[in-house]
Every structure is written in structure tokens, then in C-alpha cells.
Amino acid sequence: MNKVVYVSRSGNTKKVAGAVAKGASAKAVSVEEANLSKPVNILFVGGSIYAGKIDGKLRDFLSALRKDQVKIVAVFGTAASKKSALPEVKAILEPKGILVSDDAFQCKGKFMMVGSGHPNVEDLKQAEAFAKRICEDNSHE
Ligand SMILES: Cc1cc2nc3c(=O)[nH]c(=O)nc-3n(C[C@H](O)[C@H](O)[C@H](O)COP(=O)(O)O)c2cc1C
């Protein structure tokens, strides 16, 4: 089973989470609703950048994640800049032995005057393709 968990303050990452869920044939849930009572094969984690960092709720969720709950984590997100959540997610999970894919998806997310219209249709298409690719790459498990 695959899962998509995200944090989204203004809806940009939520839109991308929907596309990722479509590509992965999985369900997208916000981090508040996330329930990992059953082990997950691929956990897609969506997070954006706020003042240079990921959201505190996402940080708490990742800090509580255990190696036996997930085979691999794949990261996606939006931001006004090109900054991805990937390095911060890796810094939290890798010391616990949790595998984090280097293949991550990032697109612009509207923020004030920046990134107007994003994520757009093309971004969402690419996000769906990213999720399909990750699933194919990990289908031998
Ligand atoms: C309080 C705040 C701080 C932000 N700081 C950054 C930042 O440091 N770097 C950046 O690239 N984008 C920054 N952004 C832009 C968001 O990352 C961007 O709008 C993102 O798409 C928001 O995703 P969400 O709608 O899923 O919350 C910030 C946005 C907010 C609201």
C-alpha cells in the first residue's frame, strides 16, 4: 500500500498531493489525518518551505516516523523559490535508517506576487508522472 501525506497552508501543495495520489493510485491525507497503523510501501511526503524551513507539523510527523512503518519515502512540494523540502526530510529520516528517494518533485507555488498560477496544469501533470515513476521504480518490492 502507498500513501500520500502532506501539509499545505494555502492549498498549493494540496493540489500537487492530489496529482501525486492519482499517479500513485493512493489517497492523499493531510498530516493531521495521517494514520500509519499499517506498514506503507511508498510514503509520499508533501511539504513546502516557510521562512526557509518545512512546516513544524510535518517535522513532528517525520520525527515520529519509524523505520518499520515505511519502505521508502518520496518527497514533493511547492515553494516560491526552487528550494525543496528534500534536504530537511533526509536530515530527519536518514539517521533513523529510513530510505528517502533522491527523485523528488518540486514546482513553484503561488506566494504573493511570485509564482502566479502555480501549481498549474503542467505542474500537476508532471507531479502525476513523478508518482508513477516512483511506483514503477519500487514495484519489485
Ligand atoms: C509565511 C510564509 C513563508 C514563506 N517562506 C518561503 C521561503 O522561505 N522560501 C520559499 O521559497 N517560499 C516561501 N514561501 C512560499 C511558499 O512556500 C509557497 O507559497 C508554497 O507554495 C506554499 O504551499 P502551501 O499553499 O501548500 O502552503 C512562504 C510562504 C509563507 C506563507
**Residue to substitute in 49, 83, 116 for testing ligand 1 pocket (most ligand atoms within 8 angstroms of CB):** 49
In this predicted model, what pLDDT tens digit does every residue of 83-141 receive, in sequence order?
Answer: 999 999 999 999 999 999 999 999 999 988 877 889 999 999 999 999 999 999 998 65
User: Distance from the CA of 51 to the center of ligand 1, in angstroms?
Assistant: 7
Pocket of ligand 1 contains residue 81 by CB under 6 Å:
yes
User: Total domain count for the chain?
Assistant: 1
Pocket of ligand 1 contains residue 106 by CB under 6 Å:
no
Cell numbers 530510505 correspond to: 99
In this predicted model, what pLDDT tens digit does every residue of 10-34 receive, in sequence order?
Answer: 999 999 999 999 999 999 999 999 9
pLDDT of residue 112: 84
Where does the pLDDT of residue 48 fall: very low under 50, low under 70, confident under 90, or very high at 90 and above? very high
pLDDT of residue 92: 98
Phi (first) and psi of residue 94, to 5 degrees: -60, -35
* Closest atom of ligand 1 relative to the 111 alpha carbon: 19
Q: Parallel, antiparallel, or unpaired: how do β-strands 27-30 and 3-6 relate? A: parallel
The H-assigned helical ranges of 79-140 are 86-93, 121-137
Question: Is 77 in contact with 106 (CB distance < 8 Å)?
Answer: yes
**What is the pLDDT averaged over residues 33-45?**
94
User: Distance from the CA of 132 to the center of ligand 1, in angstroms?
Assistant: 26
**Residue to substitute in 13, 111, 116, 123 for testing ligand 1 pocket (most ligand atoms within 8 angstroms of CB):** 111
**What is the pLDDT averaged over residues 27-56?**
95
Phi (first) and psi of residue 55, to 5 degrees: -65, 145
* Closest atom of ligand 1 relative to the 53 alpha carbon: 8
Give SS3 for 89: helix
pLDDT of residue 116: 85
pLDDT of residue 140: 66
| CATH code, domain with 27 | 3.40.50.360
Smallest Cα–Cα separation from 42: which of 106, 118, 107, 104?
Answer: 104
- Structural domain of 47: 3-137
- Give the Cα-Cα-Cα angle 33, 141, 100 (nearest 5 degrees): 55
In this predicted model, what pLDDT tens digit does every residue of 62-89 receive, in sequence order?
Answer: 999 999 999 999 999 999 999 999 999 9
